Amino acid sequence: MTPSPGVHSRWTYVECPRDSWQGLHRPIPLQSKIDYLLALLEAGFTHLDLGSFVSPKAVPQLADTGQVLAALPSPRPGRADEETRDYLCIIANARGLESAAQEEKVTSVGYPLSVSDAFQRRNTGKSLEESWPLLAELRALASEADKRLVVYLSMGFGNPDGEPWAVQTSLDAVARCRDLGVSDVALADTVGRASPELVAEVCRAAVARFGPDKLGVHLHARSEQAVALALAARDAGIRWFEGALGGVGGCPFAGDTLVGNLPTEQIAPALGLPFENLSVLAERARALQYDYA
């Protein structure tokens, strides 16, 4: 790939089947999940957000995460010529991290932290004030377990609950995460309302303050808006992106069934990323969505 002027040549792209599956009401058969994830690895995806360790009552679709992990190849291959993979699972509390710590194949855990108190309560059952000391605890537990901790900073591009928000709100939250020792932070547009102009403004300010390393975006959008949003983040200096084949999944609080994840089959070519069989995999992703919705 020949990068555009000012664009970094090294990228991190996280494929997020977990985000695609979590809201489905009918359970996807275990083997179907395993086969799909193996196909993603075969296509060249090395960073997968593939499961969660939260209450199975809250997210029954992902209650089999441990069984899924057991069937996948090691993320830390034995040969020097094989690329290390990243298997990330979402957690919501210390109990979830303790469960993830027991899984050798989990390399990263993701914690959703919203700048919106109302959304944080809906999503994790804790207020924002309660979540900061929890994050410090999670940081210590993750370090002890040799797991990378990622914060997904939801409502990072605006707050739909009427609470005050400005670009500085998100920047201050990133700074607080870094002060707690959490380096990896993805700015998330949880409800898919950000414009390319706003994405550019927030990302440019974040890169200027913190640099591009360990700073990502997890955006939701309608399909026709996805590429413009990704390119706005890219041109602002971001080089860690997340999406899901078929554009399926997304936040159950978005209030618009057309708002899903950024469709990887559109985003990857726009960024010049060399994944294979994207159209075929996108059809498989949509079929799972249709069959088990």
Residue 100's identity, in one-letter code, is: A
> Each residue of 259-279: pLDDT tens digit?
899 999 999 999 999 999 999
What pLDDT is stored for residue 9 in this prediction?
52
Determine the length of the chain: 293
Whether residue 3 has pLDDT greater than 50: no
| Mean pLDDT value of segment 102-115 | 97
> Each residue of 7-25: pLDDT tens digit?
335 789 999 999 999 989 8
Specify burial of residue 81 (Cβ count, 10 A radius: 0-12, 13-18, 19+): exposed
Identify whether the C-beta of residue 113 lies closer than 8 Å to the C-beta of residue 173: yes
- Sort strands 215-221 and 240-243 into parallel, antiparallel or unpaired: parallel
251 or 101, which is more confident: 101
What pLDDT is stored for residue 94 in this prediction?
97
| Mean pLDDT value of segment 97-113 | 97
What pLDDT is stored for residue 252 in this prediction?
58
State the Cα angle at 163 between 160 and 165, rounded to 5°. 85
- Which of the four pLDDT bands, split at 50, 70 and 90, describes residue 255? low
What pLDDT is stored for residue 81 in this prediction?
67
| Mean pLDDT value of segment 216-233 | 96
Give 49's contacts (C-beta < 8 A, 6+ positions apart).
14, 15, 16, 17, 18, 19, 88, 89, 90, 110, 242
Whether residue 172 has pLDDT greater than 90: yes
What pLDDT is stored for residue 1 in this prediction?
33
> Each residue of 112-170: pLDDT tens digit?
999 999 999 988 999 999 999 999 999 999 999 999 999 999 999 998 777 899 999 99
What pLDDT is stored for residue 5 in this prediction?
31
Q: What 3-state class would DSSP assign to 222?
A: coil
What pLDDT is stored for residue 230 in this prediction?
98
- Which of the four pLDDT bands, split at 50, 70 and 90, describes residue 258? low
Whether residue 52 has pLDDT greater than 50: yes
Per the prediction, the chain carries an average pLDDT of: 92
Identify whether the C-beta of residue 214 lies closer than 8 Å to the C-beta of residue 183: yes
Q: In the Cβ-directed half-sphere of 201, how many Cα atoms lie within 13 Å?
A: 12
* Integer CA distances (angstroms), 133 to 113, 115, 128, 129, 130, in order: 12, 15, 10, 8, 6
